Amino acid sequence: MAGKSGAVVVISVSSGKILAHWNLDIAAQRLETPGSTVKPFVLMELLEKAKIDPAQRVICHRPLYIGGKRMDCSHPVAITSLDAADAIAYSCNTYFATVATRLSPGELADKFKQIGFTSPAGYAQNEITGEVRTPADQGELQLQALGEWGVRVTPLELLAAYDSMARRKLKGDLGATAPVFDGLERAVKYGVAHGAQPVGTMAAGKTGTAAGLRTPETHGFFLGYAPADEPQIVVMVYLERGRGMDAAAVAGPIITAWWKNRVIARDPVIR
């Protein structure tokens, strides 16, 4: 984080305790629009309620306008249709704006509250809490599914939500939501979060980029866990000025360092 402003927090999946942090107060007290970090939870709600077929492909059209706001996808133009897992991997706005209309406004708002977006995460004493609004029309519903309207969270609330996913992955309790976890692995392997790919192990996670609430500049998030198949840590990177891909690039070396120290602790001869 040298030369960067924001926060980083790493927690243990097994204990829920903080293993490392940078600017914990910022992570506890900054309310931000979460951007695409909410997409896995939108997909989870759709799959749990059997409202989509994860194998069905959605054609990605550009440009994308929602309520007068341009929300074009950032993935390569050569990617013209996506299934549920690749929609997570490539963070396709068209996919999520399309499938979100199968949820009612109350369902999506309730999901965000259920996963802790309006509750203290419990990692710091001075935490504030997020805000979730109920959409009044389809445009607001679609923008909320993209993390661009009606939801503000702290970095710690996002961390707690991804910790819940990591614990679910560790238990193997995926059921109908398996494409969500597949998509998070694909995102790091070859998608928008590829910068978080560590050396020596595999990770899973999601990036998010959104306009700041106090500045015209964007802020970036990376939330993820490692190892991808058996999570032991959850990492949150928040950059006050940057993009999700920049946050992922910070997360990669952090996960690598954790993995290297873990390997050395098990076999001190390894250097």
pLDDT higher than threshold 50 for residue 220: yes
Assign 3-class secondary structure to 206-258.
Answer: EEEEEECCCCCCEEEEEEEEECCCCCCEEEEEEECCCCHHHHHHHHHHHHHHH
Q: What is the DSSP letter of 197?
A: P
Q: Which two tokens stand for residue 209?
A: 């980029």
* pLDDT given at position 264: 73
Instruction: Indicate the pLDDT class of residue 271, thresholds 50, 70 and 90.
Output: very low
41, 214 in Cβ contact below 8 A?
no
* pLDDT given at position 173: 86
pTM here is 0.95
Q: How many CB atoms lie within 10 A of CB 104?
A: 12
Question: Mean pLDDT, to the nearest integer, of 132-156?
Answer: 97
* Domain ranges within the chain, ordered by starting residue: 6-266
- Residue type (1 letter), 162: Y
Q: How far apart are the first and last CA of the chain?
A: 25
Instruction: Indicate the pLDDT class of residue 262, thresholds 50, 70 and 90.
Output: confident
pLDDT digits (tens, 9 = 90+) for 63-98: 999 988 899 998 988 999 999 999 999 999 999 999
pLDDT higher than threshold 70 for residue 7: yes
Q: Virtual CA dihedral for 26, 160, 21, 125, nearest 10 degrees?
A: 60
pLDDT higher than threshold 80 for residue 125: yes
* pLDDT given at position 126: 92
Domain 6-266 top-level CATH class? alpha beta
Alpha helices, H only, the chain: 24-29, 39-48, 84-89, 93-99, 105-114, 138-145, 155-171, 178-189, 244-266
* pLDDT given at position 62: 84
* pLDDT given at position 215: 64
Q: What does the mean pLDDT of the chain come to?
A: 94
pLDDT digits (tens, 9 = 90+) for 145-167: 999 999 999 999 999 999 999 99
